[in-house]
Chain A
């Protein structure tokens, strides 16, 4: 349990470090600038052909389905791979629903949701024409367990499958390399997963790219990403790692086996490591179709686009499952007193935090933890103030109850490489000084923020870091994906924490209850209760529920933001540019 969280947390931190992108899930409504049409789809069209040109400001973590953790990668990978289950390619809320892909139906739970069975569709072929079997899916999951070979991917299977010591197919003594007992393949179409503990949300695991089949004979370990064997409607044309790759149509993909995809363009061209400002400019000039990371344009482009109604009409605002927040560290006196924490909550000017993250375009002012786009999330506000600018009178009252009527001094930490977090720290300093709380601003290197600084309780305490600026995005739109890593006090260890100091045994108990609650409505209510408990403890100052301003050139067709991806859905897009 704790291992899973640690690795997942580190991996997620690494992902967040490289891009502001949220992992996987999210939700969106198209409160778009202009031409959003029926059902949130812009320029609906069935016309095929053409090339979609994409660019990435960094490098892909990996094209290998067993080794990737970027949200945009999970979106894009569906073009060349088919997992057991996938997020529906549909606009808005529909996009957050799971539909069977390689499997015929969603998972069938037995044994109190400890065993999950999937039946594969018949006739699904690899790019070379061979049939996909359940053993290939098993092999794919097995190899994704090997974090020495594939360090990037999520660790959900490592933590939930009943591994019995199994580590890697590369060290497997079984001649077929299928020695893992936690996954059974009674026949070529059936696959059975056996878990250590009940987990009602297993279909979310089944949509991970690591369930995309990998033929054992073609697996070359770390080099597999150079020539991934495709099962989706596209296969790799060229692939120069770190520079660019292209996707062309896969002749052995059969529409009859795939109700989820309607591939429109003939080709995808993806350039890697392109300057981010350059990407924004080329999008506007029509030189480029998609900024593949899907995190929205940079601040400079945002200013230009918002000032120009014509450009603004070509944008969509994608709500994400990401919350920018700050943890109030109860290890640091006097913040161990809830009244002093309440004082911080009341004193802070939320509009300043919103400005720090890009104003209205950057996100909505958050009043509690769970982003409203997560199914079942409820919005509430324990610390209301006029226009969200803070309630100085109430803050002073809380300070008096805390025994610090004249305020106190503490420090605020943030990740040095993040200008938005710097602006957040400065906004905190300004608004808290109104009630006599003096903050010293302390930047720390992003790469070691959780390992050596804010995420290391001893360091945070010794250096008096009373407020820790942070952010979190869920791997998929679901309360478990969002909350588990940041509120469970039992995952707090010596360093490398993603829970920066939320310590409440009642919250831990509620988390455990949620994991075994199979009824969706009841489970969603537990997530809301956890949210409320954490806020009434005043452990967190929620800042902004993030949004991304996405630009779409007019030649793109079938463009929509999906709640499952928090960005444009890459499965449905077409182009009029031939």
Chain B
């Protein structure tokens, strides 16, 4: 990125002004973020993933608007769309038509398009907050374990091992079954969502925690940490103002890669019947309902399945691109 030196005179003088004078524009200092952004912009696949993610978030936010224009209320039954004997729409591919873009659900004729759109809300909401929880918990314990070492590290690391070895899905099934209908001042869907966020979030934190711990181990030996320490900075300051900013890149990357895992986990919970309660739409729940109909109403399985597939793929591609951009050596 250096500009070519233009030699104008016969005598070459060590004149620093001469070096810069011939350049078209002034040299710009670029931050790490800017460099990463330039790299990311050149990675078309990652950018595509990013665009899809933005679109999905828009869809989730604007779900009522989208459905008002293109679909129907996601809870509304449309018996007239369903053949009373066959239990499915007699139309093309589960009743796909301009009025029902993804066809209708068997038995009750709910609009699959609207339910997929509303399902995005549940999936993204749970995935984002569960990831946030995992990142906060994982980063805190990772940094603490890595920085202090010794018995603190041992305790935290073994706790992570326990969490990693835990049959979290079985635990989730059991927990979701015994939680009452009202708890912690919440009820209904809000309680279920909070519960799933906690379950999914706590299953993900050790992954982040281990990575952060490893990064911290190498960072704490660096000079700037020594410098801060010799200047009399206390541990909390070193942890959160010296170390943490240097950990933003791995946190960002692994958070992006944790989101699709969490989407799948939420779908699995809903599929197993312990996720969001009916009639609220969720992708995993739709897939679960669709299993017995896929031979005669494939639309009911294809569209929520595609939604999960596209979302997970987009986050994975974007996450990979982000990692490459932030840390080219990992390529």
CA distance A303 to B295 in the complex (A): 9
CA distance A304 to B88 in the complex (A): 11
**CA distance in complex: A463, B279 (Å):** 19
* A104 interfacial by beta-carbon distance below 8 Å: no
Q: Does residue A445 face the partner (Cβ distance < 8 Å to B)?
A: yes
Tally inter-chain residue pairs, CB-CB below 8 A.
Answer: 78
Contact code string B62-93 (vs A, CB < 8 Å = 1, else 0): 00000000000001010100101111100000
Compute how far the CA of A304 lies from the CA of B87 in the bound complex, rounded to whole angstroms: 11
Q: Is A48 an interface residue (CB 8 A)?
A: no
Beyond known contacts A358-B87, A411-B181, A426-B108: 14 more, CB 8 A cutoff: A299-B296, A303-B297, A304-B296, A307-B86, A352-B79, A359-B86, A361-B85, A422-B289, A423-B108, A426-B278, A441-B279, A443-B278, A445-B177, A463-B180
A207 interface hit (Cβ, 8 Å): no
A298-B292, A355-B82, A426-B278 given; A303·B273 CB < 8 A = no
In the bound complex, CA of A443 to CA of B179 (Å): 12
Contacts of B87 in A (CB 8 A): 299, 302-303, 355, 358-359
Bitwise, A294-314 to B at CB < 8 A (1) or not (0) is 000011101110110000000
A442 adjacent to B292 (CB under 8 Å): no
Q: Within 8 Å of chain B (Cβ to Cβ): is A94?
A: no
In the bound complex, how far is the Cα of B106 from the Cα of A299, in angstroms?
A: 10
Chain B 283-310, CB within 8 Å of chain A: the 1/0 string? 0000001001111110000000000000
Q: Across the two chains, which residue of chain B brings its CB closest to A427?
A: B108
Question: Is residue B247 contacting chain A, with contact meaning CB distance below 8 A?
Answer: no
Complex A-B: 13 CB contacts under 8 Å: A298-B292, A300-B293, A304-B296, A352-B79, A352-B108, A355-B87, A356-B107, A358-B87, A422-B289, A423-B107, A430-B108, A440-B188, A441-B279
- Cα(A437)–Cα(B285), bound, Å: 25
A300 touches B292 (CB 8 A): yes
The smallest C-beta distance from A19 to any residue of chain B, in angstroms, reads 15
Q: Known: A429-B279, A440-B188. Is A306-B108 also a contact (CB below 8 A)?
A: no
Residue of A whose beta carbon sits closest to that of B75: A430
Whether a CB of chain A sits under 8 angstroms from the CB of B38 is no
A442–B108 CB distance below 8 A: no
Q: Are the CB atoms of B277 and A355 closer together than 8 Å?
A: no
Q: Give complex CA distance A302, B293 in Å.
A: 10
Interface SS of chain B: loop
Whether the pair B295, A300 counts as a contact (CB closer than 8 A) is yes
**Distance of A352 Cα from B106 Cα, bound (Å):** 12
**CA of A300 to CA of B293 in the docked complex: distance in angstroms?**
6
* Residues on A facing B (Cβ under 8 Å): 277, 298-300, 302-304, 306-307, 351-352, 355-356, 358-361, 411, 416-417, 419, 422-423, 425-427, 429-430, 440-443, 445, 463
Give chain A residues whose Cβ lies under 8 Å from the Cβ of B88.
303
B86 touching A303, Cβ below 8 Å: yes
A463 to B77, Cβ gap below 8 A?
no
Given A299-B87, A419-B292, A355-B181 contact (CB < 8 Å): no
What residue of chain A has the Cβ atom nearest to residue B289's Cβ? A419
* Residue of A with least CB distance to B189: A440
Neighbouring B residues of A441 by C-beta, 8 Å: 277-279
Q: What CA separation (Å) do A419 and B297 show in the bound complex?
A: 15
Find chain B residues with CB under 8 A from A427 CB.
77, 108
Shortest distance between the CB of A313 and any CB in chain B (Å):
15
**A422: nearest chain-B partner, CB-CB:** B278
Which positions 104-120 of chain B face chain A at CB distance < 8 Å?
106-108
Q: Which of A422, A425, A442 has the most CB of B within 10 A?
A: A422
Residue of B nearest to A300 (CB): B295
Chain B's interface size range is 20 to 34
The answer to whether A355 touches B108, judged by C-beta atoms less than 8 angstroms apart, is yes
Task: List residues of chain A with CB within 8 A of the CB of B297.
Answer: 303
> From A464, which residue of chain B is reached at the shortest CB distance?
B181
* Chain B, 230-246, CB within 8 A of any chain A CB: none
Rounded to whole Å, the gap between the CB of A450 and the closest CB of chain B is 16
**Contact of A360 with B77 in the complex, beta carbons under 8 Å:** no
Binding site for A on B (CB under 8 A): 75, 77, 79, 82, 84-88, 106-108, 177, 180-181, 188, 273, 277-279, 289, 292-297
A-B pairs, top 8 by smallest CB distance, nearest first, are A303-B296, A300-B295, A359-B84, A416-B273, A303-B86, A423-B107, A426-B279, A430-B77
* Residues in B whose Cβ lies below 8 Å from that of A463: 180-181
Min Cβ gap A32→B in Å is 15
Q: Assuming the A-B contacts A356-B107, A359-B85, are A304 and B279 also in contact, with contact meaning beta carbons closer than 8 angstroms in the complex?
A: no
- Residues on B with C-beta less than 8 A from A277 are 295
- Smallest CB separation, A75 vs chain B (Å): 26
Chain A residues with CB under 8 A of B292 = 298-300, 419
Question: With the chains together, A307 CA to B77 CA distance in Å?
Answer: 23
Tell me, rounded to whole Å, the shortest Cβ–Cβ distance linking B85 to chain A: 5
> What is the CB-to-nearest-CB distance from B1 to chain A, in angstroms, rounded to a whole number?
61
> In the assembly, what is the distance between CA of A429 and CA of B76, in Å?
11
CB distance from A427 to the nearest CB of B (A): 7
User: Which residue on chain B has the smallest CB distance to residue A426?
Assistant: B279
Q: Which residues of B contact A425 (CB under 8 A)?
A: 278
How many Å from the CB of A549 to the closest CB on chain B?
10
How many angstroms between the C-alpha atoms of A440 and B192 in the bound complex?
13
**Closest Cβ of chain B: how far from A418's Cβ, in Å?**
10
**A residues less than 8 Å from B108 (CB atoms):** 352, 355-356, 423, 426-427, 430
Task: A516 to B107: give the CA distance in the assembly, Å.
Answer: 45
* Residue in chain B with minimal CB distance to A431: B77
B107 near A355: Cβ-Cβ < 8 Å? yes
Residues of chain A contacted by B85 (CB below 8 angstroms): 306, 359-361
Q: How far is B110's CA from A352's CA once the two chains are assembled, in angstroms?
A: 13
Q: Is the CB of A300 within 8 A of B82?
A: no
Q: Which residues of A contact B177 (CB under 8 A)?
A: 445
A304 to B296, CA, bound (A): 7
* Neighbouring A residues of B277 by C-beta, 8 Å: 441-443
| Complex alpha-carbon distance, A277 and B291, angstroms | 11
Complex interface: chain A residues within 8 A of B86 (CB): 302-303, 306-307, 359
Residues of A within 8 A of B180 (CB): 463
A302 to B85, CA, bound (A): 9
Shortest distance from the beta carbon of A213 to any chain B beta carbon, whole Å = 43
When chains A and B are docked, how far (Å) is the Cα of A443 from the Cα of B289?
14
Cα(A352)–Cα(B87), bound, Å: 11
If A355-B82, A355-B84 touch, whether A442 touches B279 (CB-CB below 8 Å) is: no
Q: Enumerate chain A residues within 8 angstroms of B107, measured Cβ to Cβ.
A: 355-356, 423
Q: Which residues of A contact B181 (CB under 8 A)?
A: 411, 440, 442, 463
Across the interface, which residues of A come within 8 angstroms of B294, CB to CB? 300
Do residues B273 and A443 form an inter-chain contact, with CB atoms below 8 A? yes
**Complex-state Cα separation, A65 to B157, whole angstroms:** 58
Instruction: Report the minimal beta-carbon distance from B118 to chain A, rounded to whole angstroms.
Output: 15
* Chain B positions within 8 Å of A411 at CB level: 181
Instruction: Give chain A residues whose Cβ lies under 8 Å from the Cβ of B82.
Output: 355
A360 CB contact (under 8 Å) in B84, B278, B279: B84
Which of the residues B75, B273, B293 comes within 8 Å of A299, measured between beta carbons?
B293
Q: B193 to nearest A CB, angstroms?
A: 15
> Which residues of chain B come closer than 8 Å to A416, judged between CB atoms?
273
Q: Measured between alpha carbons, how far is A238 from B107 in the docked complex, in Å?
A: 43
The interface residues of chain B lying within 8 Å CB-to-CB of A355 are 79, 82, 84, 87, 107-108
- Cβ of A440: which chain B residues have Cβ within 8 Å of it? 181, 188
- Please give the distance in Å from A577's CB to the nearest CB on chain B: 27
Contacts of A303 in B (CB 8 A): 86-88, 295-297
